[in-house]
Amino acid sequence: MRGIYTSVTDIRRKVFTEVARMAYEGGNYAEKIAKLPYKILPGEVATLRESVFLERAIVEERLRLAIGLPLRPVDEAIPVSDGIEASAIDEKYYDPPLVNIIKFACNACPTKKVEVTNMCQGCLAHPCKEVCPKDAISMVHGKSVIDQDKCIKCGKCVDVCPYNAINKMERPCAAACGMNAIGSDELGRAKIDYDKCVSCGMCLVNCPFGAIVDKGQIFQLIHSIKKKERVFAIVAPAFVNQFGPDMTPGKIRPAMQQLGFEDVVEVAIGADLCTLEEAKDFLREVPEHQPFMATSCCPSWSMMAKKLFPELAQNISMALTPMVLTARLLKKKHPDAKIAFIGPCAAKKLEASRRSIRSDVDFVLTFEELMGLFEAKEVNFADLEETTPLHEATADGRGFAVSGGVAAAVANTIKQLDPNREIKIASAQGLADCKKLLMMAKAGKYNGYLLEGMGCPGGCIAGAGTIADPTKTAALLAKYKKEAQLQNATDSPYKLSLGTLD
C-alpha cells in the first residue's frame, strides 16, 4: 500500500512527528507523552474504530514502540510513560522483538478461507466442482457450496470459475510473510513466531488495520543531535522520490542539516565497496571451492538462507553490507562521529543492533520515520536551495536499490576484472520466491551462478520503511543512476582490501 495515503499511514506519520517534536523540545516527557494521544486523536467521537478510547490506546502503544519501548501487558496498570526517561539517551538499542503486534488492534482475520460469493451463476459446466481434489464442492439449489471441513484451500476452484465468483481470502499479514512466521493466538489474533521471523516488515506494511509495528530510534537519534554530537546521515539510494517532487537529490544535504545532521553520505559508496568484494569472492571461489555464490546485502534474505538452508550458509558472500561499509569508512575519517543509517528497510534495524555492528552504526531510521523529523522541524523542501548533489557513488552502486541491481553491479565488475569470465545470474524478490531460488540451488540447478535475493518484492525501493509508490521510485532511480559521474564499482575512489578501507 506504499504510495497510498491511508488512515493507517496518517496515524503512523503523526506518531513519528509527535515523538520527534517531543524529543526536539525536551522537558517533562512523562507528562508530554500522556497528552499526545489526545493531540493525535482529538475530540470524543471515534472515526476509525468503535471507540475513541480504543483508538487512543492503540496510539499509546505506537508511541512507545516509536521510542523503542516494549508493548505493555494488557492486564496490568502501567502508564504509557513507563521507561521513557531511561530511553532519553543516545546509546539505547532496541529491546527485542523488533516487530510487534498490538493485540487489541488486530482484527483476528480468518487465517485462510475459500468461499462462493453471490456472483455464482450456477453454470451447467460447474468446473469448480470438477477440479476440486477433495470433493468439497456440491451444487445446492443451483449454486456452488463449499464444505469447509473438506476444503484444503488449494484455490483450484478459484482459478477455473468463469465468473470469478469464488474468493480465496487469507490474512494479509500471513499472505505477505514469506517465512510462514505468522499464526494465531488463542483468540484468533495474529501471532509472530520469532524463531522464523527475519524482520523484513512485509507484514507491517500489509496489515490494513495497522496492528503490526516495528520499534524505532527517533528519540535516541534526536538526543544525540541535541548533545551536539557529530551525527552523519548515511542515506540509502532508495531515498529518491520518497519525500515528494520538491525534495531533489540536490536538496537532501541542506534538508538533513536543518534536522541537525553534520553531513550526508550516500550508502551507494558502500555498495560499490560491497560490489568489489563480492566480485573478487566470486572469481576466487566459484566453482573451484563452492558451487555458487549468493549476495549478502539484504539482511532478510541472508537470515532466511541461514535459517532455512544452513547447509548452504558457506555459499552466502561474507562481504559486509553497504550500510556497514559506509559507516566504517566514515568512522575511519571521523572517529568521534555517530552514524545514522536512513533507509527503506526494517531489517536493517535488526542488523545494526547486532553486537558486531553496534560500534559501526549507531542509529537506523526508515524514510517514513525521517519524514516525521522533517514535519516536526517544519522543513519546507520547496524553500531549500539546490546544492551540489551527492556524487561519489557509481551508477551501479545506486542500482542496489532495485531488484536485480546487486547482481548486475557484481557482474559488471567481474567483466571489468576478468573480461573472459562468463557470468550466469539468477535472482528472486520476496522471501517466498527467494526460498524457491535456494531450493533450486540446493538441488544443483544453479551451479556456477551468482544468486541475488531481495526480501522485499521489487527490492529496497519497496521496503517496509518506504513512503512512495515503488514503480515511480524505480523510474526516478533510473534517472538518478544516469546522473552519476562514475559508472562501475571499479571507478570508485575508495578501495577495499582485506577488510581495511582506503
Query: d(Cα 17, Cα 391) in Å, to the nearest integer?
Result: 30
Per-residue model confidence as pLDDT tens digits over 393-404: 999 999 999 999
Task: Note whether 231 and 337 are within 8 A (CB).
Answer: yes
**Residue 502 reports pLDDT greater than 80:** no
Query: d(Cα 345, Cα 301) in Å, to the nearest integer?
Result: 12
Per DSSP, 399 falls in state G
| Local confidence band at 227 (pLDDT 50, 70, 90 cut-offs) | very high
Three-state DSSP string of 417-444 = HCCCCCCEEEEEECHHHHHHHHHHHHCC
Set of cell numbers at residue 216: 524505532
Report in angstroms the alpha-carbon separations of 453 from 121, 357, 396, 397, 489.
44, 22, 17, 16, 20
Give residue 496's pLDDT.
57
Query: d(Cα 429, Cα 358) in Å, to the nearest integer?
Result: 28
Give residue 498's pLDDT.
34
**Residue 167 reports pLDDT greater than 90:** yes
**Bridge partners of residue 266, in order along the sequence:** 235
Which of helix, strand or coil describes residue 497? strand
Three-state DSSP string of 111-169 = CEEEEECCCCCCCCCCHHHHHCCCCCEEEECCEEEECCCCCCCCCHHHHHCCCCCEEEE
Average pLDDT for residues 335-349, to the nearest whole number? 96
Using the structure block, give the residue that is written with the C-alpha cell 551462478: 449
Per-residue model confidence as pLDDT tens digits over 83-131: 999 888 777 666 789 999 999 999 999 888 999 999 999 999 999 999 9
Set of cell numbers at residue 215: 520499534
**Residue 500 reports pLDDT greater than 70:** no
Q: Name the nearest CA neighbour of 402 among 480, 487, 460.
A: 460
| Local confidence band at 499 (pLDDT 50, 70, 90 cut-offs) | very low
Query: d(Cα 204, Cα 202) in Å, to the nearest integer?
Result: 5
Average pLDDT for residues 400-425, to the nearest whole number? 96
DSSP 248-281: -GGGHHHHHHHHT-SEEEETHHHHHHHHHHHHHH
Query: d(Cα 92, Cα 82) in Å, to the nearest integer?
Result: 15
The number of residues making up the chain comes to 502
> What is the pTM (predicted TM-score) of this model?
0.94
Task: Note whether 403 and 473 are within 8 A (CB).
Answer: no
Set of cell numbers at residue 29: 516527557
Per-residue model confidence as pLDDT tens digits over 358-375: 889 999 999 999 999 999
Give residue 264's pLDDT.
97
**Bridge partners of residue 394, in order along the sequence:** 486
Which of helix, strand or coil describes residue 409? helix
**Residue 1 reports pLDDT greater than 70:** no
**Residue 501 reports pLDDT greater than 60:** no
Query: What is the distance between the terminal CA atoms of the chain, rounded to a whole angstrom?
Result: 41
Mean pLDDT over all residues of the chain?
94
Per DSSP, 94 falls in state P
Is residue 371 within a helix (H) or strand (E), and if so which, with residue range? helix 367-376
Per-residue model confidence as pLDDT tens digits over 480-494: 999 999 999 999 998
DSSP 465-480: T--S-HHHHHHHHHHH
Per-residue model confidence as pLDDT tens digits over 420-453: 999 999 999 999 999 999 999 999 999 999 999 9
Sheet holding 293-294, edge to edge: 293-294, 449-454, 424-429
Per-residue model confidence as pLDDT tens digits over 194-210: 999 999 999 999 999 99
Task: Note whether 255 and 384 are within 8 A (CB).
Answer: yes
Which of helix, strand or coil describes residue 23? helix
Report in angstroms the alpha-carbon separations of 173 from 22, 43, 439, 448, 458.
31, 31, 24, 36, 18
Query: d(Cα 209, Cα 107) in Å, to the nearest integer?
Result: 7
Using the structure block, give the residue that is written with the C-alpha cell 466442482: 129
Which of helix, strand or coil describes residue 6? coil
Burial 81-101 (b: 16+ CB within 10 A, else e): bebbeebbebebbbeebbbbb
